[in-house]
Amino acid sequence: MQDIELSVSTVELVAASALQADRPVRVLQYVLEPFGVPLSSMTTGGLWRLTGTAIDDIGTRQFHAVLKVIHTPLRWAGIDAVPVEMRGFVVAHVPWRTEADVYRSDLAKYLPAGLRLPDIYLIEDLDEDSAAIWMEDVQPESAGGWDNDCYTRVAYLLGCLAGAPEAPMGAERDIADFVVGPGEHVFIPMLRSGILHSHPAFDHAIDHHLEQDMLLFLDHIPLLLTEAAALPRTRAHGDACPQNMLRAGGGTVAID
């Protein structure tokens, strides 16, 4: 996890924004604790939860926020696993600034009813290769997991976003990048090696034909990429999954 130096002035700015205070606040105490470090993400330097108390014209109040640091893939903890000759490709094709750019844009006003972004309190460029995003500490509903109705509803909302004609497009990623990058260098070799046959995900969860079907599918990838390249491009979350689509307040909050 990337080291973070936190100033009182930054905490006070975040606290004032989180509390929706009209005037500057004075922070009485705060704690910044790391949580859920997704080391598999090339562009995430770390996640922290900020809690504290501050005083303003209303009185003494508690505030909460989440800090996410994003950075160039070259600072990823697992970059040593990427061949040196491939690192230029990774930097060119993994747009690490996208999340900050989205939060700085006016995309939020084009989202369909029922889908929103987290409230953003502050975005700071730490240096030319990293940035800090201070955002709402969304508290997702804990009752039950995702069912078919949840997936259907979120799929509909994402479809509405894709079809929003005036929404900004943002950074584009070609689906071929996933094949040329992690596909050809990680996942396809693993599949061809047979090592996945003993992976727990294959055990009792699917029929025994899946591995062979996946191997046959590899032969169709070039044609599918050609067909995909000819299709219109729209807006997409990029990593829409229950972890990043938080159900809260009767709607869905899209993060990451």
Helix, strand, coil % (nearest 5) of the chain?
40, 20, 40
Determine the CATH number of domain 8-140: 3.30.200
Q: How many residues does the chain have?
A: 256
20 token code pair: 């929706």
Using alpha carbons, select from 104, 100, 158 the residue that is nearest to residue 128.
100
- The residue among 106 and 208 whose pLDDT is bigger is 106
- pLDDT over 80 (residue 118): yes
Given a cut of 90, whether residue 250 has pLDDT beyond it is no
- Are 44 and 107 contacting, i.e. CB atoms less than 8 angstroms apart? no
Q: With a threshold of 0.85, does the pTM exceed it? A: no
Report the pLDDT value the prediction gives residue 136, as an integer from 0 to 100: 95
Q: Render pLDDT for 99-116 as a digit per residue (tens, 0 to 9).
A: 999 899 888 888 999 999
164-181 pLDDT tens trace: 878 777 667 778 888 887
Q: Domain coordinates of the chain in residue numbers?
A: 8-140, 175-229
**Edge-to-edge order in the sheet of strand 60-71:** 26-34, 44-55, 60-71, 130-135, 120-127
Mean pLDDT of the chain, nearest integer: 86
* Strands of the sheet with 115-116, listed across from one edge: 115-116, 251-254, 245-248
Cα distance between residue 1 and residue 76, in whole Å = 9
What are the helix and strand counts (H, E) for the chain?
8, 8
| 1-10, 60-69, 153-162, 182-191: range with lowest mean pLDDT | 1-10
The pLDDT > 90 percentage for the chain reads 39
Higher pLDDT, residue 116 or 187: 116
The residue among 246, 236, 17, 3 whose CA lies nearest residue 132 is 3
- 2-56 confidence digits (pLDDT tens): 567 788 999 999 999 999 998 889 999 999 999 875 556 888 989 999 999 999 8
What is the model's pLDDT at position 207? 67
